[in-house]
Structure 1
Amino acid sequence: MAKYNTLLYYCYSTIANAEQFAADHLKFCKSLGLTGRIIVAEEGLNGTVSGTVEACQTYMDAVRADGRFGSLEFKIDEVDEPSFVKMHCRYKSEIVHSGLRDPNVINPQQQTGKHLEPAEFLAMKDQKDVVVLDVRSNYEHNLGKFKNAVTLDIENFRDFPAMINELAQYKDKKILTYCTGGIKCEKASALLLHEGFKDVYQLHGGIIKYGKEAGGEDFDGKCYVFDNRLSVEVNSVNPVVISTCFNCGKVTPKMINCANPECNEHFTQCDECGTAMEGCCSDACKEHPRKRQYDGTGYYVKVPQPVNTAKKGNLQLAD
């Protein structure tokens, strides 16, 4: 039995004094010895945390005991070691950055696409009048996606609203949206409905829950995750690898971040090219003076940068 768990969750629920809540929640997480990344906004919570089985259970019990988060659902992975090095809990304007901040226009607490459980999604996804829509970024769906899904050429979810015109051709179809854990679909499906799409659905719990409850059937490749695992297996029914090495083109499921921190590109790279390129995407990055040591994983802990500083010549002057 694994000693550690990694929890993925989100909840759209109004949080008063969200900035103070974030500070208090960080202290609570640290008191349990958890590591992870949590975003807090007035609109809710979005987090991935990791720790001992006991600490994670205590955390889940405490969050569930808060009436504001009664609808929150934890997706639990058993892991051999914590999936993060540090604990961060930050206050931001949105729990997933979309640029859709007007609650009178997009409010997942009031209107979203119809939630489909994994078995329902599996039963619907291949029907003739259905379009399966991946609302994630390029580097995510390049690593893995549902068979025959429509993917979007976007670098970040905040680019999704600009793609509505491209999706207009599917207005008469049933739109089945999906993402990693479900959080992006809440706003993506709400926006589609706002823009006149009539029949919009979303995969409840996202790819992660689908893998656990439907065996990940017809999800090709691996699923990108936002922790030091970088990717996880999803499909235990009919798995295939669809991603290729950025440098040589060989089929590989390995996702890394470029060793040059000023690039930090997410890309797939085979082990041979990883060794030859020292974890970099290009020769320019390989020669960069700030290049990080490549240990074969392609995951790097972010180095804190000075804040409230101003450059003057070659000096850093604090305010």
Structure 2
Amino acid sequence: MKPYRVLLYYIYTPIDNPEQYRDEHHRLCLDLNLLGRVIVAPEGLNGTVSGLTDDCQCYMDTLKTDARFAGIDFKVEEHDTHAFKKLHVRLKEEIVNSDLPVDPLKRTGIHLEPEEFKKLKDQDDVVLIDMRSNYEHTVGKFKGAITFDMENLRELPEHMPEIAHLKDKKIITYCTGGIKCEKASAYLLEQGFENVYQLHGGIIKYGLEAGGEDFDGKCYVFDNRLTVDINKVNPKVISTCYRCGTPSDRMVNCASAGCNNHIPLCEACGWQYEGTCTDECLHAADKRVYDGTGYYQKPTSHYTPFLGYVSRKRSEAAEVSR
């Protein structure tokens, strides 16, 4: 058993004072030595964090004792080390950027557990639709799934004409951990699709609980692993090296900071071209040092992981002055 855990989760639930809770949640993560990314919004909580097994268990137990978060479904993976280098707990308007005029707490697609999805996905009247970004499904997707050439979920309305002829089908949406599908499936219902389902817990949960059968390639993740294996039954590489065209499911971010393209790049080309996707990027002035991983931590000059403690000290000082 590996010593660390990676937790992926989300929950749509009203948070009345999200700024205050952001600080509280940040202190919790600091106290438990967790690293990762957490988004707090009026509509809920979304996060991916890593830490030692006991610390992660305490984190999950603490959240579930809060009535607002009792229904969180954690996807738990083993890992050798931290999957992140820093901690970010951010306040945003949405827990996943979409701008879609829907409320998943009022209406969304029917949730399918992994085994239910596995039984239903190959039926003749079923269509699988990938709700992730183009670079994500380039490296991995379900066999036969429809994909969109979109950068993010905000572009979903532009792709509706591509599936308008499928309104008489059973539609199953899927994404990495399930969060995008809550809004995407709700939007499909608003657009007149009647039989809409979603893979509960996403690709990650399907791999953990149902073996990942028929998921080709690897699943892109937003930590320093970049991709993870899903399919333990009939795995297949579907992506090719951006530079040489050989089969490769090894994803990197282009070393040119101005480009930062998400691409498959074989190990040989990675070293030969210093982690870049083009010769222009290879000679770019903003090229970052390639260390073989192709993962680069975003600058955090506008944010400090000690903000929570600063806020707590201010609060304590205010109490003393009263």
Q: Does TM, normalized by the shorter one, top 0.5?
A: yes
Take 2:26 and 2:159, find their aligned partners in 1: how far apart are those partners? 36
Residues 275-316 of structure 1, C-alpha deviation per residue, up to 9 Å, x if partnerless? 111001111111112211111110111123569xxxxxxxxx
Matched residues in 1 for 2:180 and 2:157: separation?
Answer: 12
What per-residue deviation string (whole Å, max 9, x for no partner) do you get for residues 50-107 of structure 1?
001111011001100000012111000010000001110000010000012x4xxx11
Distance change (3 Å), C-alpha of 1:30 and 1:274: same
**Aligned with 1:170 (options 166, 183, 199):** 166
- The 10-residue stretch of structure 1 (4-13 or 294-303) with the greater mean CA deviation from structure 2: 294-303
- Could you tell me which residue of structure 1 aligns to residue 300 of structure 2? 304
CA displacement 1:158-182 (0-9 Å, x = unmatched):
2112212222111110001000000
Deviates more, 1:181-190 or 1:21-30: 21-30
- Between 1:27-36 and 1:184-193, the stretch displaced more is 27-36
User: Among 223, 229, 242, which residue is 1:227 paired with?
Assistant: 223
Residue 194 in structure 1 maps to residue 190 in structure 2: yes
Q: Which has the higher contact order (CA 8 A, sep 6+)?
A: 2
TM-score by length of 2: 0.92
Measure the CA separation in 1 of the matches of 2:106 and 2:141: 29
Distance of 1:182 and 1:306 partners within structure 2:
29
Q: Distance in 1 between matches of 2:207 and 2:189?
A: 27
Deviates most, 151-160 or 192-201: 151-160
CA 1:28 to 1:131, structure 2 compared with 1: closer, same or farther past 3 Å?
same
Q: Please, which moves more after superposition, 153-162 or 42-51?
A: 153-162
Secondary structure of 2:234's match? coil
Alpha-carbon RMSD across the aligned residues, in angstroms, is: 1.1
Paired amino acid for 1:203 = L
In the alignment, which residue of structure 1 is the partner of 2:256? 260
Alpha-carbon distance in structure 2 between the residues aligned to 1:43 and 1:161: 21
The correspondence of residues 236-275 of structure 1 with structure 2, limited to 5 A, is 236-275=232-271
1:312 aligned partner: none
The 3-state SS of whatever aligns with 1:22 is helix
1:205 and 1:161 map into 2 onto residues whose CA distance is 23
Distance 1:238 1:150 in 2: 20
- 1:59 is paired with a residue of what secondary structure? helix
Q: Distance in 2 between matches of 1:303 and 1:281?
A: 21
Gaps of 5+ in 1: 308-319
Q: Equivalences for 1:1-319 in 2 at 5 Å?
A: 1-100=1-100, 102=101, 106-305=102-301
Bigger mean CA deviation after superposition, 295-304 or 46-55: 295-304
> How far apart, CA to CA, are the structure 2 residues paired with 1:250 and 1:19?
48
SS in 1 for 2:72: coil
Q: CA deviation at 1:134?
A: 0.5
Alignment correspondent of 2:307: none
For residue 33 of structure 1, what is the amino acid of its counterpart? N
Distance 2:296 2:13 in 1: 32
- Note the C-alpha offset of 1:141: 0.4
Q: Which moved more, 1:76-85 or 1:295-304?
A: 295-304
Amino acid of the residue matched to residue 76 of structure 1?
V
- Tell me the SS of whatever aligns to 1:50: strand
SS in 2 for 1:27: helix
Which secondary structure state, in structure 2, belongs to the residue aligned with residue 243 of structure 1?
Answer: coil
The letter for the 2-side match of 1:97 is N
The whole-number CA distance in structure 2 between the counterparts of 1:214 and 1:202 is 16
**Aligned equivalent of 1:314:** none
Task: Please list the CA deviations of residues 223-248 of structure 1 after superposition, one character each: whole Å capped at 9, or x if unmatched.
Answer: 00010000000000000000111111
CA drift of 1:264 comes to: 0.9
| Count of matched residue pairs | 303
Which sits farther off after the overlay, 15-24 or 132-141?
Answer: 15-24
Structure 1 residues 96-129: Cα deviation after superposition (integer angstroms, max 9, x where no partner):
00012x4xxx111111100011111111111111
- Give the percent of matched residue pairs that are identical in Structure 1 and Structure 2: 58
Distance in 2 of aligned mates of 1:226 and 1:150: 22
Which stretches of structure 1, 4 residues or longer, exceed 2 Å deviation after superposition? 303-307
